[in-house]
Structure 1
Amino acid sequence: MLHATEVLGGEAYDAQGNFVGRVSELFIEPADQPNRVARYLLGRGKYLPLLARHDQISSVAPGVIKLNVEEKELEHFHPNEAWLAVRKDLLDQQIIDTRGRKVVRVNDVDLAEQRTNGTVELRVTDVDIGLTGATRRLLQGLASPMLIRRIQERLPARTIRWEFVNLIEPDPLRRVKLRITHDKLERMHPADLADIMEELSPAERQAIIASLDEESAAEALAELDSRLTSQIVEKMAPGKAADIIEEMEPDKAADVLAALPPETSQDVLEELQGEEAREVEALLSFDAHSAGGMMTTDFVYVGETATRGEVLEWVRGREVNVEQLDSIFMIDGDAKLSGVVPVSEREGEGDFRALR
């Protein structure tokens, strides 16, 4: 096992044993192999840096790499936004631990060696978020690799498997080039996702919401602090904001729009379609602190022969907001209103009185 900090800054020698330069960056090409170090950037002081491909590496050890080609066979470096840079994009950067459901900072990157046909490939296995990675970086260049390894063996390891790492990239075009998706975030509970977003910068929050599907974005915004929700929605294009707000409950959608500047709120409202727009407009017409401003257009109706247990099962199965449910309407066999049953306030889970 190697670590990025042991490779970065290391000396590179060609097949003839000539010094070529120092490793200044490691590049991953997500479109090809999402965890393979595909290219090594070799700095050469005042000269143009060179690139060594993964199939041009014969060995890698802490502080030194050896090539299986001569220097003249290496190509000159040209920046590529589709490459993930280990030093620039990972070290010291915040990432999302999708398994632990939290935001963490990367101290180092763990690399496994894979030998193929006389070459050595490095594969990212984990990111180090603990003291071991921090210690390696602190002592790099001040102590020998052997001494650093002896010290880190006494420290508790804290790592995250690469497959559970979700990168945060504010630039939408680069997100596409790097193949960054947030599928794992969409599968999180909205409250957990909202907690994660509260730890991010405004640009990072905007990036996360922009890349989620509308339903997941709406659920996360509904759990987020109202001030942050307003900041996020205000920066969106009205059409995109409307698509997300349409996935919210009418009362929550009205709350979000009411907190926006009037012009922005109107722009988004004009993008809403059909019944959703009429319901939200109706709620917005009330003062926020009046009974109308706090009401919802949702209601529950059941057959008049329904039992308490059947109603409880139905309500819970559809994730009805019991806090806003004060009555259940009963209908007869002709679908006509036959009675109203108040919801008991004795139990937080919605302990309804007998329907008959």
Structure 2
Amino acid sequence: MELYATQLMGVKTYDVKGNYVGRVREFFIEPAEAPNRISHFLLSRGRFQPLVAKHDQVAAISDGKISLNVGEKALEIYQPNESWLAVHKDLLDQQIIDTRGRKVVRVNDLDLAEQRSNGNVELRLTQVDVGLPGAVRRLLQGVVPWNVVRKLQSRFPQRAIRWEFVNLIEPDPLRRVKLRITHEKLEDLHPADLADIMEELSATERQSIIASLDEETAGAVLGELDARLTTQIVEDLDPEKAADILEEMPRDAAADVLADLPK
């Protein structure tokens, strides 16, 4: 079944007895458990406390609604969890790195695939939509009927990146650890290509990536960057990390960086 993240937002959810539980306000991936499985659904209804439905509590997703295989009392009250990646908050409209295309792109929507598992339905994130079809869905979802949105989006070329080629950007080092976000894929890129990507990022994003690369790769990338950017990055690094990276750089380049650092 064709399903997108934008479609899932606001969908009504019913328990095993057919009672209305609430609407989907957010859904999450738990990278430490399954890197592309939607693990939890945040449900809210009026003034009631938000509830969470787990992936194994979903019986069916069809006709714009989610049916659960348990009663409302079996659902837990929502508690924020730093090890969960929020699809709407953390991914939609955020910048990511396309490691195959070697560029920074913005997420317009996410493609989801339905998968049967032990009698329940799981959703797996398969692709990131970075083209106009995703932007059209974002703009028109809930405003015009879905069949109209489908016709409009079909007029534009599809641009999508398979999830396994996506590298997330998370500036917070503690959350990066909790979410199991690594930059191993980036280390396979040529330093010049990675330097081009770095130049498209914000200062905080550049810092988070350099800090997580091995010293040899980081030194090679800094050697490809503009001297001003290199100095800014090294200046904000942990002194020990900065020293290790400078040792991996060519002597002349390292000397230039040291000369430009504030005394």
Q: Which residue is 2:21 aligned to?
A: 20
Which structure 2 residues correspond to residues 103-142 of structure 1 after superposition, within 5 A?
103-142=104-143
How far apart are residue 237 of structure 1 and its match? Answer: 1.8
The whole-number CA distance in structure 2 between the counterparts of 1:256 and 1:96 is 27
The whole-number CA distance in structure 2 between the counterparts of 1:4 and 1:27 is 11
How far apart are residue 210 of structure 1 and its match? Answer: 0.5
Q: Secondary structure at the match of 2:89?
A: helix
How far apart are residue 239 of structure 1 and its match? Answer: 1.1
The whole-number CA distance in structure 1 between the counterparts of 2:205 and 2:191 is 17
Which structure 2 residues correspond to residues 47-126 of structure 1 after superposition, within 5 A?
47-61=48-62, 63-126=64-127
Which structure 2 residues correspond to residues 1-356 of structure 1 after superposition, within 5 A?
1-61=2-62, 63-262=64-263
TM-score by length of 2: 0.97
The whole-number CA distance in structure 1 between the counterparts of 2:108 and 2:56 is 27
The whole-number CA distance in structure 2 between the counterparts of 1:227 and 1:131 is 35
Q: Deviations 1:21-48 (Å, cap 9, x if unpaired)?
A: 1101111010010000011000123221
The two structures, once aligned, show a CA RMSD in angstroms of 0.9
Amino acid paired to 2:229: L
How far apart are residue 137 of structure 1 and its match? Answer: 0.8
TM-score by length of 1: 0.72
Amino acid paired to 2:152: I
How far apart are residue 127 of structure 1 and its match? Answer: 0.4
Q: Secondary structure at the match of 1:79?
A: coil
Q: Secondary structure at the match of 1:148?
A: helix
Contact 1:106–1:127 at 8 Å: present in 2 too?
yes
The whole-number CA distance in structure 2 between the counterparts of 1:174 and 1:239 is 22
The whole-number CA distance in structure 2 between the counterparts of 1:99 and 1:61 is 34
The whole-number CA distance in structure 2 between the counterparts of 1:201 and 1:123 is 30
Gaps in structure 2 of 5+ consecutive residues: none
Identity of aligned residues (%): 68
Amino acid paired to 1:256: V
The whole-number CA distance in structure 2 between the counterparts of 1:148 and 1:196 is 33
Amino acid paired to 1:227: R
How far apart are residue 221 of structure 1 and its match? Answer: 0.5
The whole-number CA distance in structure 2 between the counterparts of 1:206 and 1:117 is 43
How far apart are residue 184 of structure 1 and its match? Answer: 1.1
The whole-number CA distance in structure 2 between the counterparts of 1:59 and 1:84 is 23
The range that moved more, 210-219 or 110-119, is 110-119
The whole-number CA distance in structure 2 between the counterparts of 1:220 and 1:162 is 25
Contact 1:135–1:152 at 8 Å: present in 2 too?
yes
Q: Secondary structure at the match of 1:183?
A: coil
How far apart are residue 73 of structure 1 and its match? Answer: 0.8
The whole-number CA distance in structure 1 between the counterparts of 2:78 and 2:159 is 34
The whole-number CA distance in structure 1 between the counterparts of 2:63 and 2:200 is 35
The whole-number CA distance in structure 2 between the counterparts of 1:249 and 1:146 is 59
Q: Secondary structure at the match of 1:17?
A: coil
How has the CA–CA distance of structure 1 residues 194 and 62 changed in structure 2, closer, same or farther, with 3 Å as cutoff? farther
Structure number with bigger Rg: 1
Amino acid paired to 2:39: A
Amino acid paired to 1:33: A
Q: Secondary structure at the match of 2:133?
A: helix
Q: Which residue is 1:347 aligned to?
A: none
Q: Deviations 1:68-89 (Å, cap 9, x if unpaired)?
A: 1111110011111001110011
How far apart are residue 62 of structure 1 and its match? Answer: 5.9
Contact 1:57–1:65 at 8 Å: present in 2 too?
yes
Q: Which runs of structure 1 show a deviation greater than 2 angstroms over 4 or more consecutive aligned residues? A: none
Amino acid paired to 1:203: T
The whole-number CA distance in structure 2 between the counterparts of 1:122 and 1:67 is 14
The whole-number CA distance in structure 2 between the counterparts of 1:246 and 1:261 is 19
Q: Secondary structure at the match of 1:232?
A: helix
The whole-number CA distance in structure 1 between the counterparts of 2:20 and 2:179 is 32
